[in-house]
Amino acid sequence: MVVDMEANIDLALRYHDAVGKGAVGDELAAFFTPDVTHRELPNLLFPDGMTRDLEGLLAAAEAGQAKLVSQDYAVKNVVAVADTVALEIAWTGVLATGQTVKAHIATFLDFRDGKICGQRNYDCYEPLS
């Protein structure tokens, strides 16, 4: 089987751009397979970590929109091997309170049939400013 790593990288970048612009609902769901699994490893916001299915991902995106005025995903590095794309990201979010939140993120996206079927996030949050 031939893997189109460039197409996977392109989709990974478009996905993060869409999330940064506030994509929710069907617009966001279009990036994923119906059986996607998102695993957020333990961090400041989720000390026990979190596992979500597609419905959970979409609900989290909606909830995030209620808390954030804006967010930006600055992709620093991208590496692709077979059906996996790894991204190093500097994330900045502005809360409705005006407070800025920053995180250094490593995310690993698994692909199947041109869509994301798995996502693992390692989010390292900076102290609140």
Q: Which amino acid is at 110?
A: D
CA distance 27 to 19: 10
Instruction: State the DSSP H helix or E strand holding residue 8, giving kind and residue range, or none if neither.
Output: helix 5-20
Q: What is the pTM of this model?
A: 0.93
Residue closest to 121 by CA, chosen among 19, 63, 51? 51
Do 101 and 93 meet the contact criterion of CB atoms below 8 Å apart?
Answer: yes
CA distance 91 to 80: 20
Do 129 and 120 meet the contact criterion of CB atoms below 8 Å apart?
Answer: no
Angle (CA) 65 67 73, round 5°:
65
Q: Does residue 1 carry a pLDDT above 70?
A: no
Q: Residue 38 in 3-state DSSP?
A: strand
Q: What percent of the chain has pLDDT over 70?
A: 97
What CATH code is assigned to 5-125? 3.10.450.50
Q: Where are the chain's structural domains?
A: 5-125
- Confidence grade of residue 10 (pLDDT, cut at 50, 70, 90): very high
Residue 16 is predicted with a pLDDT of 97
Q: Cα–Cα distances in Å, from 29 out to 3, 12, 15, 79, 80?
A: 22, 13, 10, 24, 22
